[in-house]
Amino acid sequence: MSKPAFRDIVAAVTRSKGAPFTLEPARLRAPVNDEVRVRIVATGMCHTDLIIRDQYYPMPLPAVLGHEGAGVVEAVGPEVRSLSPGDHVVLTYGHCGHCLSCCAGHTSYCTDFFRRNFGGSGEDGQVAITTPDGALLHDHFFAQSSFATYALSRESSAIKVPKAAPLSLLGPLGCGIQTGAGAVIHSLKVTPGSRFLVLGAGAVGISAVLAARLAGAGTIVAVDVVPTRLALACELGATHAIDSREPGWVEAVRDITGGGADFALESTGRPAILAQGVAALGPRGVLGVVGASPQGTQAAFDLNDLMIAGKRIQGICEGDSVPRKFIPELVELHMQGRFAFDRLVTFYPFADINRAAADSEAGLTLKPVLLVDGHA
């Protein structure tokens, strides 16, 4: 194999736990095998980027994060069959493609998911990004590390989208949006006329509201602590909004739903809210857990309430989505005007990445998208 060529890039580097992102010159190697190099046009910022910055999970640092990239294929490795330079792609999580979960079509439960997405290097343990003087930067975050002007991904994680679609908007479909929508459609399988409760009206939660409306849920209750988020949830399909700081809110949900929700989605990552969500379920209700908390976090709830009422709790990763199928479906729904996830998005110049993070954490922005294209 010939020695790979390098491309000069600019990357937002996370140097230590909780530190601001720093925009730095770096170098990215050329694609080999089934890899693709993508010119990043825009990349979403998900809460998961911030919890890795804050080391909820022990991804090695310094690292280049970013896992909602959208861009244009610039170069492909020799094994790539379905993508060519110039194609528009949305980048999504990595999976091995040959474990039992992957073979059964459950790629988000790939047995190698954690290492591939949070391990900080490729399958061979090597990184693809270095500083200009050759120091290693951990990468391969969600098979992309897209807080950069160019990213290296793989054919299986680069999802081709129509050129007519607004590429700079589409990156969040690769994680947060497909997680919320997929949780409703694939994992919980919310049914027409049912009563749906979403805990946390952030990007994932409001995507779930949009999907619950598409699925025909009759009652959709959104719970959050940020009034503007609750208001947007109502504009986009929630029938009721509740501030969880109000005492007795669980009883209010039970009243609104006539005895408890059939389906609930926990996206706050807070164990106390999860326990209250279980209490807010009706008989045989199911609560999906997507919210991420620090490793080792435990939750407590009433076991008898779970058992006697036949309730269930279900962990959900990436909305049980098969991205090659689901992302183009969401693009199509958006283009038909039936999936208004653009209402969640605020665009920021790439150079303002720390302002985007601060706005997101302050509840001012739901889904920041960094405009990377044109950044020198």
Tokens representing 203 are 């990007």
Among 14, 43, 145, 244, which residue interacts with ligand NAD (rule: CB under 6 A)?
A: 244
Query: 113 or 150: whose CB is closer to ligand NAD?
Result: 113
Among 317, 330, 331, 369, which residue interacts with ligand NAD (rule: CB under 6 A)?
A: 317
Establish if 214 lies at the interface with ligand NAD (CB under 6 A): no
Establish if 194 lies at the interface with ligand NAD (CB under 6 A): no
**Please, what is the minimum distance in Å from the beta carbon of residue 178 to ligand NAD?**
8
**CA–CA separation, 39 vs 162, rounded Å?**
16
Among 14, 43, 48, 257, which residue interacts with ligand NAD (rule: CB under 6 A)?
A: 48
Among 9, 38, 41, 46, which residue interacts with ligand NAD (rule: CB under 6 A)?
A: 46
- Residue pair 154/34 in contact (Cβ under 8 Å)? The answer is yes
Query: 129 or 290: whose CB is closer to ligand NAD?
Result: 290
Q: Report the largest interatomic distance among the alpha carbons of the chain, rounded to a whole angstrom.
A: 67
Give the total of residues touching ligand NAD (CB under 6 A).
32
Contact region for ligand NAD (CB under 6 A) — 96-104, 109-117, 202-210, 231-239?
A: 202-210
Could you give the C-alpha distances from 284 to 146, 153, 279, 311, in angstroms and in order?
41, 41, 12, 4
Query: 129 or 175: whose CB is closer to ligand NAD?
Result: 175
- Residue pair 331/155 in contact (Cβ under 8 Å)? The answer is no
Among 203, 209, 281, 369, which residue interacts with ligand NAD (rule: CB under 6 A)?
A: 203
Establish if 313 lies at the interface with ligand NAD (CB under 6 A): no
Establish if 53 lies at the interface with ligand NAD (CB under 6 A): no
**CA–CA separation, 179 vs 184, rounded Å?**
9
Among 75, 102, 223, 372, which residue interacts with ligand NAD (rule: CB under 6 A)?
A: 223
Query: 29 or 140: whose CB is closer to ligand NAD?
Result: 140
Contact region for ligand NAD (CB under 6 A) — 190-198, 278-286, 290-298, 300-308?
A: 290-298
Establish if 205 lies at the interface with ligand NAD (CB under 6 A): yes
Establish if 270 lies at the interface with ligand NAD (CB under 6 A): yes
**CA–CA separation, 21 vs 13, rounded Å?**
5
Establish if 146 lies at the interface with ligand NAD (CB under 6 A): no
**Please, what is the minimum distance in Å from the beta carbon of residue 294 to ligand NAD?**
11
Bridge partners (DSSP) of residue 222 are 198, 241
Give, as ranges, the residues between 69 and 128 that touch ligand NAD (CB under 6 A).
none
- Residue pair 141/67 in contact (Cβ under 8 Å)? The answer is yes
Query: Which residue's Cβ has the minimum distance to ligand NAD?
Result: 202
Establish if 318 lies at the interface with ligand NAD (CB under 6 A): yes
**Please, what is the minimum distance in Å from the beta carbon of residue 182 to ligand NAD?**
9
Give, as ranges, the residues between 333 and 372 that touch ligand NAD (CB under 6 A).
363, 366
Neighbours of 13 (CB within 10 A): 23
* Reduced 3-state DSSP string for 70-126: EEEEEEECCCCCCCCCCCEEEECCCCCCCCHHHHCCCHHHCCCHHHHHHCCCCCCCC
**CA–CA separation, 91 vs 93, rounded Å?**
7
**CA–CA separation, 89 vs 76, rounded Å?**
13
Among 145, 268, 287, 321, which residue interacts with ligand NAD (rule: CB under 6 A)?
A: 268
Query: 52 or 152: whose CB is closer to ligand NAD?
Result: 52
* Reduced 3-state DSSP string for 177-244: HHHHHHHHHHHCCCCCCCEEEEECCCHHHHHHHHHHHHCCCCEEEEEECCHHHHHHHHHCCCCEEEEC
- Residue pair 202/47 in contact (Cβ under 8 Å)? The answer is yes
Residues forming contacts to ligand NAD in the complex (CB under 6 A) are: 46-48, 51, 175-176, 179, 200-205, 223-226, 229, 244, 267-270, 273, 290-292, 316-318, 363, 366
